[in-house]
Structure 1
Amino acid sequence: MPDDAVYVYAIGDAGLAAALPGIAGVSGAPLRAVGSGALVAVVSSVDTAEFGDEALPRNLEDLGWLADTARAHHTVVDALARRHSVAPVRLATVYLDDANLRTMLDQRAAAFGAVLDRIRGRTEWGVKAFVIPPSADRHAAEQQPSVPSGTGAGRAYLMQRRAARDRAAEARRSAVDAAGQLHEELSRLTVASRHYPPQDPQLTGCRDEMVLNAAYLVDHAGEAAVRGRVERQGAPGLRLELTGPWAPYSFATVEQV
């Protein structure tokens, strides 16, 4: 239809076309395959009134719309990755029609082939590390006591607060060092790694400071080693979150080849 555009989820080998999952994509549209040579793009049709050049930038600023679209996008990519090695495409990647998409596949066939070779038989795992303040200092911060009256009491209070700050600073230094060592060890255990900036507490929903936010490309045979290394982390004051396996979003872009 002339008012339809082509929304792209992921790119894989030609065999992917024969095993598309029976799920709906963005806006409830059915999935289909657009192939060229040895490559196949998994796509669905979307309305240009929602995904066209004028509407898309506006919709991307709508948090509700963005969340729904991202959820549908991830659901499709995750279902594909459970069956095949696929290169996930960035959220809201839209082409005018199938012909334009095939042209892109032809022009970048070698690069996409290299990406698929890079991630075949591998998944992405994420590790986040958070500093846990000493429990007594956390409790004191939550209570927010008033300064006691009297010169001697006030001086003692300030010394206690200074000691609490010193303990928190030392706990943070130890946690940062432990997180750095963990990242180095995981990088040696895995095929590749990506180190991202720490996320804001408003995004994580956790008030503890994040000191490691990393992704790792892992062979299937190496997943147990990664999981075991994270579980063995014994640094006090450091809390770890291990997530995965995921489709290798962090390692599947053409620019990384």
Structure 2
Amino acid sequence: MRRGLYAYAITRARQIDLEGAWLISHRGLALVVAEVDLDRFTGLDCDELDEDSPLAVLVREHDAVVRTVFRHEPVLPLRFGTVLDGADAAVQLLSARHVEALAWLDGVEGRQEWGVRVRAAAREPVNLDGVSGTAYLVQRRALLAAAENARRDVAVVHQELSRRAAESTFRELAGDLLLEAAYLVDTGSEEDFRAEVHRLTGELGLSAEITGPWPPYSFTRVEFADA
């Protein structure tokens, strides 16, 4: 069995009770770590994300530790699968990015991440089979115009929501999504933010799904090249 030190996140060097994990501190920062069996991370299938797959179990374990810290202190989640050789490597990691990590902890303190997915409202399917060429072109142009209008509407939604967040980011779209974005929102403004999501999308005839609150997974920009 190969053992290693798994790194979950960076936080401030303050006492937190963690089951199965602990803090390695250095100059006001702390790395949240646990000793793990490295064989658990070998041969994982990234396409296998059903609830009971080994990868899904490990991801849930990672998120559970990060969330526990997040309930007490600001946290910078590290990328899933960050493994170190030992305590000396942990201190080296904290030392190498000390200034950036402190600044980012200040930036996410008192804020939580919210995810927003926006889709076009469901419409009756348009059957273009058997129509004349002219009618087909008319229908086709109408569909393209509707899609372009939806894209413009979504851009407005993202712009307005970004104004109500400390930071925002959007992700590559898949399927029928018009927007998949994350927003870093002050804890005292979250109800207003959620209400604004529903107001904006409702007025534009769009469908919104809100997820969260999350630790600031989308807003951890400190890169640890040695990890």
Q: What interval of TM-score do these two structures reach, taking the shorter chain for normalisation?
A: 0.7 to 0.9
Cα distance between partner residues in 2 of 1:62 and 1:84: 33
In structure 1, the partner of 2:155 is: 180
The correspondence of residues 21-100 of structure 1 with structure 2, limited to 5 A, is: 21-22=18-19, 30-51=20-41, 55=42, 58-59=43-44, 61=46, 63=48, 64-100=53-89
Structure 1, residues 183-215: CA drift from partner, whole Å, max 9, x if none? 1111111111112211x23xxxxxxx2121111
Cα distance between partner residues in 2 of 1:81 and 1:66: 22
- AA aligned to 2:12 is D
Cα distance between partner residues in 2 of 1:133 and 1:237: 9
Higher mean C-alpha displacement, 104-113 vs 114-123:
104-113
- AA aligned to 2:89 is N
Q: Secondary structure at 1:92's aligned position in 2? A: coil
- Which is richer in helix? 1
Q: CA deviation at 1:42?
A: 1.3
Q: CA deviation at 1:7?
A: 0.6
Q: Which runs of 5+ in 1 are unaligned?
A: 23-29, 148-153, 202-208
Structure 1, residues 146-181: CA drift from partner, whole Å, max 9, x if none? x3xxxxxx53xx555444433322221221111100
- AA aligned to 2:2 is D
Cα distance between partner residues in 2 of 1:62 and 1:184: 33
In structure 1, the partner of 2:198 is: 231
Decide which of 216, 226, 229 is 2:183's aligned counterpart: 216
Decide which of 135, 141, 149 is 1:166's aligned counterpart: 141
CA contact (8 A) 2:7 2:82 kept: yes
TM-score with structure 2 length normalisation?
0.85
TM-score with structure 1 length normalisation?
0.76
Aligned residues: 218
Larger Rg: 1
CA contact (8 A) 2:153 2:204 kept: no
Q: Which runs of 5+ in 2 are unaligned?
A: none
Cα distance between partner residues in 2 of 1:90 and 1:74: 11
Cα distance between partner residues in 1 of 2:206 and 2:99: 43
CA contact (8 A) 2:23 2:30 kept: yes
Decide which of 197, 205, 209 is 1:241's aligned counterpart: 209
Taking a change above 3 Å as real, the CA distance of residues 224 and 19 of structure 1, as seen in their structure-2 partners, is same
Higher mean C-alpha displacement, 178-187 vs 236-245:
236-245
The answer to whether 1:6 aligns with 2:5 is yes
In structure 2, the partner of 1:150 is: none
Taking a change above 3 Å as real, the CA distance of residues 61 and 195 of structure 1, as seen in their structure-2 partners, is closer
Cα distance between partner residues in 2 of 1:106 and 1:236: 49
Q: Secondary structure at 1:19's aligned position in 2? A: coil
Cα distance between partner residues in 1 of 2:207 and 2:139: 20
- Percent identical: 32
In structure 2, the partner of 1:151 is: none
- AA aligned to 2:16 is A
Cα distance between partner residues in 1 of 2:55 and 2:214: 20
CA contact (8 A) 2:114 2:182 kept: yes
Q: CA deviation at 1:78?
A: 1.9
Q: Secondary structure at 1:254's aligned position in 2? A: coil
Cα distance between partner residues in 1 of 2:93 and 2:125: 59
The answer to whether 1:19 aligns with 2:16 is yes
Q: CA deviation at 1:62?
A: 6.6
Q: Secondary structure at 2:73's aligned position in 1? A: coil
